[in-house]
Structures are given as structure tokens and as C-alpha cells.
Copies of this chain bind each other. A is one copy, B any other.
Amino acid sequence: MPFEPSVQAPFAVAVDLVVLAVHRSALRTLVVRRGESPDRGRWALPGGFVGAQEDLEAAAARELKEKTGLSVHVAGNGDAAHLEQLATYGDPGRDPRTRVVSVAHLVLVSGLGESHESYTGVVRGSVLGDAAGGEPEVRWAPVDELLSADSEMHRRSSPSLLAFDHDRILAEGVDRARAKIEYSSLATAFCPPEFTVGELRRVYEAVWGVALDPRNFHRKVTGTPGFLVPTGGTTSRQGGRPAQLFRAGGATLLNPPMLRPEA
């Protein structure tokens, strides 16, 4: 009994965003407090419905722009964020209202400005007033909190912190980021245009949640051709001995990869 294609359900198609940044040695993600009816008041990943003539990637970029003001150069090493498709979630019943198929996207933004004020400012400064009138509540939540709450949910079967199936989406987005900085130069997307080896190392440490040996890390990244190009300048914004500044090089794939400590 083959499925009959002429009977088609009314599908809604949405995009959800896992926006990741490293701030104060923590991997953080952007969450918004829901003002709408299902899961009202819970935190959720930013997202929205796809327009009738809108490309999926364009919808994701538009949502990002609305929520953070950031532009994306898709797969481009420009001044903007990195955006890529993550996975699609379409369980019937994941949204109690109607059948919603949501295409999740992963966004990596530069977040090394350590001042908390200017950091949240990148969100505050550009959120357009939503239909509800007031500014939506937006937060850079440490991923650890959200995910450990998730595993705690498994133990005590308490409801998760995030609405819908957004825990799972976040977990898979974080997994993807953790895996991808291993074999690509994507970690530089978390850094400002110019950065030091130490700053890049702190990105890896925050994303992986491990400590890396500064000497071996330095040898590895400076020894991989095309990964980093020195700009000539130095900075001492971290204290200690001034460090060389680098830009991201042309290489996107790291071969051999950056090894993540196992344990």
C-alpha cells in the first residue's frame, strides 16, 4: 500500500538557529524567552517561519539579522558570522499547534570581546520590536547549563529548560561545532578578525571543555600551512608577554586534524 501523494498535509516550514559564541571562557548560545502560547515563558532557540518565496538559508540569515543584527557571509571568511545547515526536525507533535518541520541552522559568531556590556549590546542594539511590542528577552546562556539541565532531565524526568525539542537541536548543534573545529579551521569564526594564538586556544578549550597545552597548541596551529597568517602586529590585551596577531588563512580543512584529548 504505497503512500498516496495527492493527500498532502498542511506543513509549516520553519528555521531554528543554534547561535554559538565563546564568551568569558564559556561556550554560549542565544536563547529568547517565548511570548507565544505554547511553552510561553520558556527559553527557546531563535527561529521563525520561512517565507513563501524565501530560500531556507535566506530565512535563517534574516532571522539572525532580526535577532542579533549580524550579517552572514555564507561559507565566506569575511567580517561576518558563519552559517550552515544543521539538520531538520519534523516529528509529528513536536509543536502542539500544527505540523511544523523545522530546518535547524548553526551560526558561529565572534565573541571574544570580553566586556559583557558590549557583548550583549550586539543583541540589544538591533533587535527589532516584535509584534508583541516590547523587546523580547534575549540571553547568551552557557551551553553547559542548558545541556546539564538536559541530562538532569533524564535522571529526574523534570521538564527541560528549553521549549519544544530545542534541547536536542542545541545538543546536536554543539556536537557539530565540537566535531568541526577538529578537522577544519572553523574555530576562527569564533574569533575577531585579528587574534592571537592564545585566544584561538581558549576558543578550543571553551568549545571542547578541556585544557590544552599552550606549547603544543602553538606548534600545531603555526605549523599547519594556510591556517594562520601573521599580520605583523602584536597585542598584550591578555596581559603577560605581547603576542603576535594573526588572521585566518585560506585553508579550511586541517590535515592532519587538531586532536581532541579523549579521556
Contacts and interface: CB of A to CB of B under 8 A. Distances in A.
Contact of A101 (B7, B89, B101): B101
Interface residues on A, range: 35 or more
A13 B99 CA distance: 11
Interface string A237-262: 00000000000000000010000001
A7 B52 contact: yes
Interface of A: prevailing SS: loop
Nearest to A260: B255
A49 to B, nearest CB: 5
A75 interface: no
Contacts of A66: 2-3
A191 B11 CA distance: 38
28 contacts: A2-B66, A2-B130, A2-B131, A3-B48, A3-B49, A3-B62, A5-B49, A7-B52, A8-B49, A9-B51, A9-B53, A10-B10, A11-B11, A11-B50, A13-B101, A52-B99, A53-B92, A54-B92, A55-B92, A56-B88, A56-B89, A56-B90, A56-B91, A85-B87, A85-B88, A88-B88, A90-B103, A255-B262
